[in-house]
């Protein structure tokens, strides 16, 4: 969990999910995979599984502990809409975003096709529409 992110377009990261798998050419130079393997080698408990998909239930309510408003990149080390993430877990993430109305959340995905399948299960409050920046990315990383 990074309170202060080195990513220039966000302020913090929140990773209730870590790990992923490559689904496009845009994943070939994945920074998250390299960082996860480095963190595993450093003995970071959250990355004991390296870059294998891992759900962190203990992280689900972390943004509620941050009282000062901030811009939060959700799942910077994974993809919230990964096919192996249960709907119920995604719903819990969105519930936290609903509760933490003072933050702005950034959700980046390469798996936008899953959104229509889950959108009716997520409580989309008026506040949530204003506080989530959902970014679909189909950009391929350059070599």
Please say if the pLDDT value at position 43 is more than 90.
yes
- pLDDT-derived band at 142, boundaries 50, 70, 90: very low
Q: Which residues, in sequence order, are CB contacts of 69 under 8 Å at separation 6+? A: 102, 103, 104
More confident residue, 81 or 143: 81
Percentage with pLDDT > 70 across the chain: 80
CA gap 67, 69 in Å, rounded: 6
pLDDT at position 130: 58
Sheet holding 132-136, edge to edge: 12-14, 71-74, 104-109, 132-136
pTM of the model: 0.82
Q: How far is CA 108 from the centre of its chain?
A: 7
Residue with tokens 């966000």: 10
pLDDT at position 131: 55
Please say if the pLDDT value at position 68 is more than 50.
yes
Mean pLDDT calculated for residue range 52-74:
95
The predicted-structure confidence for 79-135, as pLDDT tens digits, reads as follows 999 999 999 999 999 999 989 989 988 888 888 888 888 888 887 765 555 556 555
């Amino acid at each position: 969990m990074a309170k202060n992110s080195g990513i220039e377009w966000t302020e913090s990261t929140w990773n209730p999910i870590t790990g992923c798998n490559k689904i496009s050419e845009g994943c070939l130079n994945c920074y998250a995979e390299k960082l996860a393997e480095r963190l595993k080698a450093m003995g970071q408990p959250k990355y004991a599984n390296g870059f294998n998909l891992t759900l962190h239930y203990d992280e689900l309510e972390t943004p509620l502990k941050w009282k000062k408003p901030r811009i939060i990149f959700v799942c910077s080390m994974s993809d919230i809409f990964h096919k192996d993430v249960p709907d119920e877990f995604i719903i819990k993430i969105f519930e936290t975003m609903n509760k933490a109305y003072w933050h702005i959340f950034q959700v980046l995905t390469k798996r936008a096709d899953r959104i229509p399948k889950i959108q009716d299960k997520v409580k989309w409050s008026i506040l949530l529409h204003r506080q989530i920046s959902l970014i679909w990315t189909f950009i391929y990383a350059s070599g």
